[in-house]
């Protein structure tokens, strides 16, 4: 057999692509990357792309941050790897847990590490099952989430994810219940105000809890802004209305902040932007500014006390990953938190978010086929519609958002097609000039497609 020659052909020959629209790759070839410069990535042919997708929401400090690379190198030199079991863990792990509780919205707390956001969500579910069983409620196993939620790809986190594509795996598992997505523009009924829409969703939540039996529900998981669902901020007053219902039935509320954590929405946490207090936070992605695969469950004080009491009863929490609390990951995370919070990156998001919104809104208003702009901070989506007045979506096998994203790629701009939307979530290091480059290329791509 002769081996394929080009990078693109070699990529096709040997890769089983995940989450990849094959017709798009077939039409334009895979983009094989070699390095990055700030918010840009560069391919094997020397082409530069402004990555308005931040890799996968995570490369918030750009692709060549020297301080982060130095922190990684220093820790690889000092102590290149260890776990967090059997009463042994690295000094970096201790320092990171201390830091995470300090920057969390909780006054006290405890941290458990994983290698990814999916594993952190799975870990949280296991913790809840373990906790409820230990407290004499082994029947409390059902998990409430929402349609369009994205919580990961492992069997449990995929069951929590509210996307029809998981049906090919025979998921969700029984006991994972999906409530209405809080997207007023798309799911609001004729004549319904946003407040009435929120009230309807909260009634649905309480009716579901009553129907299923409050003592069968283990927890409620929600992203403060649904990310991979297409950047969907909650409808007005949503979390303020949801929290009292959960409290009434003793159901823990878990904020999946894998995307929204560490500054993406303009505050350290999405729950701060939307003014609610969860019982635990799931973190990943920005936690290491994308330089190390790492996730964390951050338990707030009360839940931490209960889980700790459950663990003490059997003298062990039988769960963990080989690389849980990896010292290099922890050293990078410590540096990443410092860089984002103290070297002006989070401030840059706060400062430039209104400019980003304004530029995208102007593009929406000029386009005949962009029906909605939604988002917050540095996470936005433009929704393509055939008819703006009726909000009728486009149809077709290669979706219009894929075609827009492909046209952007041809112009040297990476953005993500999600459903009928184009998503923009640039790295926090973005400058005004780079933002203008996004506006210019996106608008040219829209003109090409429509």
Residues making contact with ligand PLP (CB under 6 A): 116-118, 121, 150-152, 223, 227-228, 256, 258-259, 284
In the complex, least distance from residue 405 CB atom to ligand PLP, rounded to whole angstroms: 17
> Long-range contacts: 37-41, Cβ < 8 Å, 24+?
37/62, 37/63, 37/64, 38/62, 38/63, 38/64, 38/427, 38/429, 38/434, 39/63, 39/426, 39/427, 39/429, 39/430, 39/434, 41/414
Residue 231 or 438 having the CB closest to ligand PLP: 231
Q: Which residue is nearest to ligand PLP (CB)?
A: 117
Residues near 427 by Cβ (< 8 Å), separated by ≥ 6?
38, 39, 51, 54, 59, 60, 61, 62, 63
In the complex, least distance from residue 295 CB atom to ligand PLP, rounded to whole angstroms: 6
Residue 331 or 379 having the CB closest to ligand PLP: 379
Residue 260 or 409 having the CB closest to ligand PLP: 260
In the complex, least distance from residue 7 CB atom to ligand PLP, rounded to whole angstroms: 25
- Please list the helix, strand and coil fractions of the chain in percent, rounded to the nearest 5, in that order: 45, 15, 40
Residue 31 backbone dihedrals phi, psi, to 5 degrees: -100, 115
Residue 157 or 311 having the CB closest to ligand PLP: 157
Residue 385 or 423 having the CB closest to ligand PLP: 423
CA 294 to chain centroid: 13
In the complex, least distance from residue 206 CB atom to ligand PLP, rounded to whole angstroms: 25
In the complex, least distance from residue 226 CB atom to ligand PLP, rounded to whole angstroms: 8
Which structure tokens are listed for 179?
A: 């409530």
In the complex, least distance from residue 57 CB atom to ligand PLP, rounded to whole angstroms: 6
Residue 382: its H or E element: strand 379-384
End-to-end, the C-alpha distance of the chain in Å comes to 43
In the complex, least distance from residue 28 CB atom to ligand PLP, rounded to whole angstroms: 24
| Rounded Cα gap, residues 310 and 140, in angstroms | 15
Identify the burial level of 245 via C-beta atoms within 10 angstroms of its C-beta, where 0-12 means exposed, 13-18 middle and 19 or more buried: middle
| Rounded Cα gap, residues 341 and 8, in angstroms | 38
Which whole-number Å values give the CA distances from 295 to 261, 298, 408, 417, in the listed order? Answer: 12, 10, 31, 25
In the complex, least distance from residue 160 CB atom to ligand PLP, rounded to whole angstroms: 9
CB 153 within 8 A of CB 169: no
Residue 141 or 151 having the CB closest to ligand PLP: 151
| Number of CB atoms found within 10 A of residue 120's CB | 29
**CA-based nearest residue to 268, from 427, 109, 151, 103:** 103
In the complex, least distance from residue 114 CB atom to ligand PLP, rounded to whole angstroms: 9
In the complex, least distance from residue 339 CB atom to ligand PLP, rounded to whole angstroms: 20
Which structure tokens are listed for 353?
A: 């978010």
Residue 290 or 359 having the CB closest to ligand PLP: 290
Residue 112 or 150 having the CB closest to ligand PLP: 150
CB 415 within 8 A of CB 423: yes
Residue 256 or 372 having the CB closest to ligand PLP: 256
Residue 223 or 383 having the CB closest to ligand PLP: 223
In the complex, least distance from residue 213 CB atom to ligand PLP, rounded to whole angstroms: 27
Residue 128, CB-side half-sphere exposure with 13 Å CA sphere: 27
Residue 149 or 445 having the CB closest to ligand PLP: 149
CA 144 to chain centroid: 18
């Amino acid at each position: 057999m002769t081996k394929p020659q080009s990078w693109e052909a070699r990529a096709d020959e040997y890769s089983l692509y995940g989450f990849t629209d094959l017709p798009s790759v077939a039409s334009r070839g895979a983009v094989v990357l070699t390095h990055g410069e700030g918010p840009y990535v560069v391919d094997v042919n020397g082409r530069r792309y402004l990555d308005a997708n931040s890799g996968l929401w995570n490369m918030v400090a750009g692709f060549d941050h020297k301080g982060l690379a130095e922190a990684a190198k220093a820790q690889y030199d000092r102590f290149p790897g260890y776990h967090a079991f059997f009463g042994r863990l690295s000094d970096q792990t201790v320092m990171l847990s201390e830091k995470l509780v300090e920057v969390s919205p909780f006054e006290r707390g405890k941290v458990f590490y994983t290698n990814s956001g999916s594993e952190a969500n799975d870990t949280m579910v296991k913790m809840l099952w373990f906790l409820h069983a230990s407290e004499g409620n082994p029947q409390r196993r059902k998990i409430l989430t929402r349609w369009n939620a994205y919580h990961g790809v492992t069997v449990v986190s995929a069951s929590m994810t509210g996307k029809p594509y998981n049906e090919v795996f025979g998921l969700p598992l029984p006991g994972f219940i999906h409530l209405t997505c809080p997207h007023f523009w798309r799911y609001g009924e004729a004549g319904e105000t946003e407040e009435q829409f929120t009230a309807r969703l909260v009634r649905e939540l309480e009716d579901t809890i009553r129907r299923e039996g409050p003592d069968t529900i283990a927890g409620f998981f929600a992203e403060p802004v649904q990310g991979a669902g297409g950047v969907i901020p909650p409808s007005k007053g949503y979390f303020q209305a949801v929290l009292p219902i959960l409290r009434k039935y003793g159901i823990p509320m878990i904020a999946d902040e894998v995307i929204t954590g560490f500054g993406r929405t303009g505050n350290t946490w999405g729950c701060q932007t939307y003014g609610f207090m969860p019982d635990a936070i799931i973190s990943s992605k920005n936690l290491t500014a994308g330089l190390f695969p790492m996730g964390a469950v951050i338990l707030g004080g009360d839940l931490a006390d209960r889980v700790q009491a459950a663990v003490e009863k059997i003298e062990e929490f039988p769960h963990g990953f080989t690389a849980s609390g990896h010292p290099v990951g922890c050293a990078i995370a410590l540096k990443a938190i410092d860089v984002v919070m103290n070297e002006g990156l989070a401030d840059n998001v706060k400062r430039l978010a209104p400019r980003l919104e304004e530029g995208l809104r102007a593009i929406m208003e000029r386009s005949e086929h962009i029906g909605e702009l939604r988002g917050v901070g540095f996470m936005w989506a433009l929704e393509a519609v055939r008819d703006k007045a009726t909000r009728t979506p486009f149809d077709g096998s290669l979706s219009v958002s894929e075609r827009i994203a492909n046209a952007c790629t041809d112009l040297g701009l990476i953005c993500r097609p999600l459903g009928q939307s184009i998503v923009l979530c640039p790295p926090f290091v973005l400058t005004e000039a780079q933002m203008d480059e996004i506006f210019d290329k996106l608008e040219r791509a829209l003109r090409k497609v429509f």
